[in-house]
Amino acid sequence: MSVLAHVVRGGPQQNEPAATQALTYILRKDPNLVQSLVGLINDEKLQFEPGRVDAEHSIEDGQPDVTIYDLEGRLRVFVENKFWAGLTKAQPVFYLRKLSNDYPSALIFIVPYQRVPTVCDELKDRCEAQGLEWGATPNESGEIRRASVDGKSLLVVSWKCVLNQLLDIANSQGMDEVRADVLQLRGLTDSMNLGAFLPLKEDETNDQELPSRLVNYIDLIGQIMQELRRADLADVKGLTWASSAHETGHYLRICARKKFGAWIGVPLRWWRDEGISPIWCRIGDHGLNANHFQTMPELFKVIKIKGNQVWIPIRLKTGVERERVIENCVGQIEEIATKVLSNVSD
């Protein structure tokens, strides 16, 4: 059974609880997978034969996402899974104090890679505010941060790093089912990142390059529209710019063998999700029929369908002057019109 099938079978779950159940399901399949996760802490003292792995098991006033025991039944590791929710009151001090001082133990936070430094800083502040001694491993950056807190290991690591580690074990030991499960969990974690608020970097809020580019793209759409009209490839009578929360563009009627309605603009969500181009052509059902829409997936390598609308990226030519970019975009739109109308009769 795949990891997603396992999670769905337990009822509708989303975000962190779903990822927690999925990760626990994977770790339970083989002790080597648990050891590979714990091995990221890079502490020779923290080596043990894994035993039970629990998901969301309540411990007094807390409920850690994953609890890992050794073969003797001793609690060795807490794992806290995060996407974009803030830390709870129990994190990290309550869990650190629940770990034993009699043998090596650890607390792991798995977070999106963008949050590794900010979560690590907040954990440090919370520990120091409660009088816990924080000793960070020097010269660490990127997707792994390690620290020692009152003699216990603490790790902040990205989902990407953890899943790559599990995937390496699965590939090297021929665990085909585990490999499939990890890839599904990777898809789940990737989807969580798309709608998230990314922590701001210091140089982003005053960086003028991004707004300048956005203005360039919007101006480019207007110039493409002018060229389409000049070439008698578009009619915009009675049509104008239209914007919503996440997109801006211009409606038009594409004039080919017959006219049909379209929109050319910058849909921020498609651009973010697909990363192909900032400018897309959206074709609706004005002037077209069901036969036209049925053939579109066969005509275009990249196409997105949402309801009765089809989205096709307009790829921007790089390293050339503006006139060449406009000319190339007009050519792509003309090609789109030709393909849409070529395979079916009116």
Q: Give yes or no: residues 127 and 224 share one domain.
A: no
Are residues 57 and 64 in contact, defined by beta-carbon separation less than 8 angstroms? yes
Residue 215 pLDDT > 80: yes
Segment (H or E) for 265: strand 259-267
In a domain, 200, yes or no: no
In a domain, 81, yes or no: yes
The gap from C-alpha 228 to its chain's centroid, in whole angstroms, comes to 36
Measured CA to CA, the distance from residue 252 to residue 286 in angstroms comes to 11
In a domain, 203, yes or no: no
* 3-state percent breakdown (helix, strand, coil) of the chain, nearest 5: 40, 25, 35
Asked which of 141, 169, 194 is the last residue of a domain, the reply is 194
DSSP code for 59: B
Q: Is the model's pTM score more than 0.85? A: no
Confidence of residue 333 (pLDDT cuts 50, 70, 90): very high
The CATH number given to whatever domain includes residue 276 is 3.90.1150
Q: How confident is the model over 104-123, as pLDDT tens digits? A: 999 999 999 888 988 999 99
Q: Give yes or no: residues 282 and 223 share one domain.
A: yes
Q: How confident is the model over 65-82, as pLDDT tens digits? A: 999 999 999 999 999 999
Q: Give yes or no: residues 181 and 236 share one domain.
A: no
Q: Give yes or no: residues 149 and 224 share one domain.
A: no
The DSSP bridge pattern shows strands 234-235 and 241-244 to be unpaired
What is the reported pLDDT for 190? 82
Asked which of 134, 163, 194 is the last residue of a domain, the reply is 194
What is the reported pLDDT for 10? 46
Confidence of residue 5 (pLDDT cuts 50, 70, 90): very low
Using CB atoms within 10 Å of the CB of residue 71, give its burial: 0 to 12 exposed, 13 to 18 middle, 19+ buried: exposed
In a domain, 204, yes or no: no
Asked which of 163, 194, 225 is the last residue of a domain, the reply is 194
Residue 13 pLDDT > 50: no
The proportion of the chain whose per-residue pLDDT surpasses 70, expressed as a percent, equals 90
Residue 12 pLDDT > 50: no
Q: Give yes or no: residues 126 and 244 share one domain.
A: no
The gap from C-alpha 333 to its chain's centroid, in whole angstroms, comes to 30
Q: Give yes or no: residues 92 and 182 share one domain.
A: yes
What is the reported pLDDT for 14? 63
Confidence of residue 39 (pLDDT cuts 50, 70, 90): very high
Range of the domain at 296: 209-342
Q: Give yes or no: residues 237 and 284 share one domain.
A: yes
Q: Give yes or no: residues 151 and 27 share one domain.
A: yes
In a domain, 170, yes or no: yes
What is the reported pLDDT for 8? 47
In a domain, 324, yes or no: yes
Encoding tokens for residue 106?
Answer: 């650890």
Q: What is the total count of domains within the chain?
A: 2
- Which carries the bigger pLDDT value, residue 2 or residue 161? 161
Q: Give yes or no: residues 187 and 320 share one domain.
A: no
